[in-house]
Copies of this chain bind each other. A is one copy, B any other.
Amino acid sequence: MSRIEPLSADMFDADCGHRMPFRVGDKWSAMLLRCLEAGPRRFTELKVPLHRVSPKVLTETLRAMERDGWVSRTAYDENPPRVEYALTALGRALLDPMDHLCAWTRAHRAEILGVREEYAQGE
């Protein structure tokens, strides 16, 4: 058995790139990214597929994504008001790694569920 290198104490400092990308972890961002994939959407439109989200949380999430440059927000001076959210180039670039992750999930979902069931038996 070969010797394995010891793990360094600062593998996971803030700038190391091993942490998951900012905010992919929160509950709605990834799904919002997917909602905006095909083109700009309005606030109310986004609530349809995300029908469990409250307006408060939707605003929060969109603001955070805007702050990180993933989406742009465009308000048109009309009545009734119209606001459109769209992916920026940066947000669009994130779709590619996201797709990989989604593909992994689809490919292994059944396997994971099986393991879980086994594990539950052994308790």
| Cβ proximity bits A1-16 to B, threshold 8 Å, 1 near / 0 not | 0001111111110010
Residues in B neighbouring A48, C-beta threshold 8 A: 6-9
Contacting B at CB under 8 A, from A1-43, are: 4-12, 15, 17-22, 24-26, 30-31, 34-35, 38-41
Task: For the complex, give the distance between the alpha carbons of A61 and B43 in Å.
Answer: 36
Do A105 and B21 touch (CB < 8 A)? Answer: yes
* Interface footprint category on A: 35 or more
**Given contact pairs A38-B5, A39-B4, A104 touches B112 in the complex (Cβ within 8 A):** no
- Tell yes or no: A60 within 8 A of B by CB: no
Q: List 22 A-B contacts (CB under 8 A).
A: A4-B40, A7-B35, A7-B41, A7-B48, A8-B49, A9-B48, A9-B49, A11-B34, A12-B49, A17-B102, A18-B34, A18-B102, A20-B30, A20-B102, A21-B104, A22-B105, A25-B26, A67-B115, A68-B116, A69-B112, A90-B112, A97-B101
